[in-house]
Amino acid sequence: MTEYLPIILAGVELWLLADKAIHWPAQQALLIADAHFGKAAAYRKLGQPVPHGTTESNLARLDALLARYPSRRIIFLGDFLHAPESHAPATLAALARWRRAHATLEMTLIRGNHDRRAGDPPAELDIEVVTEPLLLGPFALQHEPHAHPSHHVLAGHLHPVHRLHGRGRQSLRLACFQVGERISLLPAFGNFTGGMDVAAAPGIRLYLVGDGGVWALPGEGSTGGNAGDGNAVFVE
């Protein structure tokens, strides 16, 4: 099992990361979808018994990715903040501390549906906010997975997951990358998020993440590549 799986998509090498992100080596960029910072705070505001510390945990994961995959830019593919209630003092303070620790890092947010409701991040976070699509190389970076007339779409929004079935009634639901011919989806980065079940099909390949690894789902739609061989898998 490997922490990252290189694939060639639209003629570009991308690394699918076990921690539910994409590293784009040529751009020195991390692509993050659906962080949903402050989601637990929003639920607590409604009186729901949910865990504390999800924002700090997600930020620690981002720190680890930046240390492992040197980047000059992070592009958030929508849903940075979860809701208006996510502007809780503790959530914003944690984000501000994290931003100060990465003051030279360029950050861009492509507004998603939750961002439109929650509002843009505070100005002190110094995050460029744009509407979709953001065209970069052969890709249309978006939140919602609508086809683009000329660019391959990389999007989030749907939080793709795939269910593996074992013997009897055993099953395991794992986050995944869904790579298609015109549209590809990233899994939700945030820990405290749900997911939509997806399946492999002709022209659609799934790459599962779990237990610190990422691997291609064998079977229909699969390239049959070995996720641990260190070579890029062509999915065009």
Q: Is the pTM of this model over 0.85?
A: yes
State the pLDDT at residue 63.
97
Cβ neighbours of residue 161 closer than 8 Å, sequence gap 6 or more: 173, 174, 175, 176, 187, 195, 196, 197, 198
State the pLDDT at residue 113.
87
Distance CA 154, CA 177 (A): 10
Quick: pLDDT tens for 59-82.
999 999 999 999 999 999 999 986
State the pLDDT at residue 230.
47
State the pLDDT at residue 235.
63
Q: Average pLDDT by consecutive 10-residue portion of the chain (236 residues)?
A: 92 97 98 84 52 79 96 95 70 93 97 84 94 97 97 96 77 90 96 78 94 86 41 61
Structure tokens at 46: 């409604």
Q: Which of 90, 97, 85 is nearest to 125 (CA)?
A: 97
